[in-house]
Amino acid sequence: MSESTARAEDSAIQSLRMSALESLSDGIWVAGLDGEILYRNAAAVTMEGMYWSRDGYVCTMEDAVFASGMLDRLRANGRECGEYQLCGGVNLGTAAQSYTVEMQMQVLTGADGAGGLSFHARDVTREWAKEQDLHDRHIELEQVNARVKATQSQLLQSEKMASIGQLAAGVAHEINNPIGYVHSNLSTLQTYAHELLLLLAGYENICEKLPCEYQHLLGSIQEIKARADYSYLQQDLPQLIEESREGIERVKKIVMDLRDFSHAGELENEQWAETDLHRGLQSTLNIVWNELKYKVEVRKEFGDIPMIECLPSQLNQVFLNLLVNAGHAIAERGVITIATRQIDDEICISVADSGQGIAPENLLRIFDPFFTTKPIGKGTGLGLSLSYGIVQKHHGRIEVQSKVGEGTTFRVYLPLRQPSLVTRILETNSNLGA
């Protein structure tokens, strides 16, 4: 290859290199060690015409990158980098264009030993936008995942409540009949025992009035009465029958409370109904009373409230969760106050405890699915989340106030009447599409 041909090829390659550099969207500068610019591509020229800022200081590109202090550090370290905000323009007016560049600066050493400086400004705004988009998508996926988990939990809870309802129905069916005839038999037995005791009292009265010559005939009767402790039996038999009747009444009430609590067989197709909230609160309290009675004094401050339109068993689930949590918050002895009142077109139900309270950092998370401060195995973190969803379904709201060491108060606000059926269907479809 001739020398002229080689020079021509070198020139062509050099031309391609320059074309490639000029076509870049990144700004490229080459300067001598003294900072005198020897080459800049088209993107660099555009960037030079804009305002540069770093750490709030706005200046030109020369003041930002080619200041003596920056060049001294670059020559001393061999490499420097930094991010700059570019906006408006020194020569371009006040264009709306604004973006961030990452400037890579380094000292160059040529084959002949000559030195220089290179500057590479890369627009990172688009990369940040992509990262932000990925971050937003990640958050969106987390939210969708949380909704799926919450929906799954609600379905599991609904299945559990349906099972409780079926169990209550079975218990009612299997137990109510024997309880019914035992209760009836005890009533009859109480009457019979009363009549028999009256009869024995009559005999005893007659025996006491017999002439002396016949008293020796009563010896065996007196012996039987002493052996049976007849005087004690007279007093204790009516009490035993009465206590048995009270026990049967309590069993009947427990079964009734279970049915009121779960609305057996109606959970999946439960209808909105006019409901007495006080009855729901009382039946739910009866359900959890065995867990509370040894350490809690319950105070009821029920106001004069009307019946409201609601899904009764679902609200009972809310009351159950609030009462159980209030009981868990009390370590040894304490008070739970249940209060109701009407405020305009809403009913407020509050459950306050004198327990340990909730730390401020946890207050914002207590309604999150699976969040719990209880030890492992003591709580799933679903109770308040499900309660929040049920109250929202009723177009109400639930609020909490707490102070560590003093206790916690939950307030549930419910409207007296629900929106129309059409509105509820539209809301349901909207939630499904969310």
Are residues 264 and 244 part of one domain?
A: yes
Domain boundary among 246, 268, 290: 268
Are residues 222 and 144 part of one domain?
A: yes
Per the domain annotation, does 112 fall within a domain? yes
Per the domain annotation, does 135 fall within a domain? no
Residue 385's pLDDT is 75
Are residues 432 and 340 part of one domain?
A: yes
Q: What end-to-end distance do the CA atoms of the chain give, in Å?
A: 72
Within the chain, which residues score under 50 in pLDDT?
91-95, 264-268, 376-377, 380, 432-434
- Which string of DSSP letters, residue by residue, matches 398-427? EEEEEETTTEEEEEEEEESSPPPHHHHHHH
Residue 337's pLDDT is 95
pLDDT digits (tens, 9 = 90+) for 206-247: 777 777 766 666 677 777 777 877 788 888 888 888 888 878
Range of the domain at 102: 3-123
Are residues 300 and 207 part of one domain?
A: no
Q: By C-alpha distance, which of 143, 431, 367 is closest to 135?
A: 143
Are residues 286 and 263 part of one domain?
A: no
Are residues 151 and 102 part of one domain?
A: no
Domain boundary among 268, 292, 323: 268
Residue 308's pLDDT is 93
pLDDT digits (tens, 9 = 90+) for 377-386: 455 456 787 7
Per the domain annotation, does 153 fall within a domain? yes
Q: What is the CATH number of the domain that holds 376?
A: 3.30.565.10
Per the domain annotation, does 132 fall within a domain? no
Are residues 99 and 151 part of one domain?
A: no
d(CA 276, CA 308): 7
Are residues 410 and 325 part of one domain?
A: yes
Are residues 318 and 259 part of one domain?
A: no
Residue 266's pLDDT is 47
Residue 29's pLDDT is 93
Task: Specify the pairing of strand 308-310 against strand 334-343.
Answer: unpaired
3-class DSSP state of 283: helix
Per the domain annotation, does 134 fall within a domain? no
Per the domain annotation, does 128 fall within a domain? no
Dihedral angle of Cα 367, 371, 373, 378, to the nearest 10 degrees? 110
Q: By C-alpha distance, which of 60, 118, 68 is closest to 91?
A: 60
Residue 347's pLDDT is 95
Q: Alpha helix locations (H) across 312-409?
A: 312-329, 360-363, 383-393
Residue 4's pLDDT is 59
> What domain count does the chain have?
3
Domain boundary among 253, 268, 283: 268
Are residues 427 and 304 part of one domain?
A: yes
Per the domain annotation, does 131 fall within a domain? no
Are residues 275 and 203 part of one domain?
A: no
Are residues 159 and 46 part of one domain?
A: no
Q: What is the CATH number of the domain that holds 18?
A: 3.30.450.20
Residue 95's pLDDT is 46
Q: Which amino acid is at 338?
A: I
Per the domain annotation, does 133 fall within a domain? no
